[in-house]
A and B are shown apart, each in its own frame.
Chain A
Amino acid sequence: MNEPLQIINIKLTVNGSLVNAAVAARKHLVDFLREDLGLTGAHLGCEHGICGACTILMNGELVRGCLVLAAQANGSVIETVEGACESGRLNQLIDAFQVCNAAQCGFCSPAMLLTAGEMLTRSDKPSREEIREQISGNYCRCTGYQAIVNAVEFCFDEVTSNE
């Protein structure tokens, strides 16, 4: 406990930019993103990997940011909700969230957006059950989930109606 604090140097890509940083060994990735980089879109709801509010993309895959040490993220490519929105690939889903009122307090929403967003690359429209399964690891207390399912469906309906 009284040992000198260990600092780890890390180099990683966050939202397309190369980041060089020195972090405490024990600091988890979400704390690093929030405190060191000011990317507060990923939220802390439990820090034991269950609520999903901290979900981000690491090397293109959904991960629980609170269950990754910043040190472990050395050499990886991180995308947070800020970067994902900047890229424009989620614009349709953001519109859909708004139209369907798929967010209330918004605390789960960035993670929901990223998680649900992974379905958008599908060519076929997912069933409501499949959408529910996709977001089954993300806790929301406000919406009761139905509006979020509606929002994903809305995206696929939009696509077909625009064709």
Chain B
Amino acid sequence: MKSPSFLYVRPDSIESTFELLDQYGDNAKILAGGQSLLPSLNMRLSAPEVLIDISKLDELKQIKDVNNELHVGALVRHCEVESSSLIASYAPLLSMAIPHVAHRAVRSRGTFGGSIAFADAASETPAMVLAHDATLVVRSSIGERRVTADDFFLGLYETALTPQEILIRAEFKKPVLGEKYIFKEIARRKGDYATVGLGLRARFKKKVCSEMRIIYFAIADKPIVSSAISDYLIDKEINAEFIDQALSQIDDDIQPFGDTYHDELTKMHLMRILLKRSLIELIEVNRDE
């Protein structure tokens, strides 16, 4: 399975990157880590005319605290996310999720931004970026835009990026003290894409839930923000009875897609169980404080 031919370019600067994007539009694909793009080329599932290797753009490789916000550059590799203490404190769900991404040899090449821009619905990084309400900064020759994570993921492999834009970075607000985080995923084997997964952030005032954000992934065409269940749980003291009531509303939160081994009903069942276990764990975590 050899890749079809393409024109390979490796721009020195962001400006020349934009020139290329303006010139080629959607005949070009950005080559970052290549861990999703190159398999698809090798399997001849796609045949872009041009590959723009952006690995020289060092300004996209940084993880830094800027005015109490965390900026994570698009070219930061998964292995760097994994070992970053800044990310562990600003975006704990991302830290918790990263060990589940593929295997070591893939994490050494695959990038944070590549995963976000590829927007595979079963992928952990887009989902946790959404879970943390991050802001995506995208840029083209025309200028820079800021897109909330809520507005960024549009569908299967579909994002708000235009063909002329590249993702520059994601920005995470400093988390509120006392926020709790639960990440769970079910996968057939270690490193596989999730069968179902979720990331959860919650805040409590004493025992009462004051904020709840749940992101479901690997169950639809993109990561899903919970509405019905999170709304239900807010302003309640979470206990077993409320959990069951909350779970009964899962159909209002998700329109599921099946996969090769799990149909929609199985997916929903698994997500319901995953959420139940997450909420039970949340109670434990909250109790311990």
Contacts and interface: CB of A to CB of B under 8 A. Distances in A.
Bind each other:
yes
Interface in B181-240: 189-191
B interface majority secondary structure: loop
A69 B38 contact: yes
Contacts of B43: 47-48
A1 B104 contact: no
A interface majority secondary structure: mixed
A67 B111 CA distance: 13
Contacts of B191: 136-137
A5 B3 CA distance: 13
Given A61-B79, A72-B53, A48 B39 contact: yes
A26 B103 contact: no
A137 B5 contact: no
A26 B6 contact: yes
Interface residues of A, number: 31
Nearest to B108: A61
A71 B105 contact: no
A1 B35 contact: no
Contact of B102 (A25, A72, A134, A137): A137
Contacts of A67: 34-35, 38-39, 106, 109
Given A71-B10, A133-B190, A115 B105 contact: yes
B3 to A, nearest CB: 4
Interface in A112-142: 115, 133-134, 136-137
B43 to A, nearest CB: 6
A28 interface: yes
Interface in A1-48: 1, 3, 5-6, 8, 24-26, 28, 31, 47-48
Interface of B: 1-8, 10, 31, 34-35, 38-39, 41-43, 51, 53, 55, 79, 102-106, 108-109, 189-191
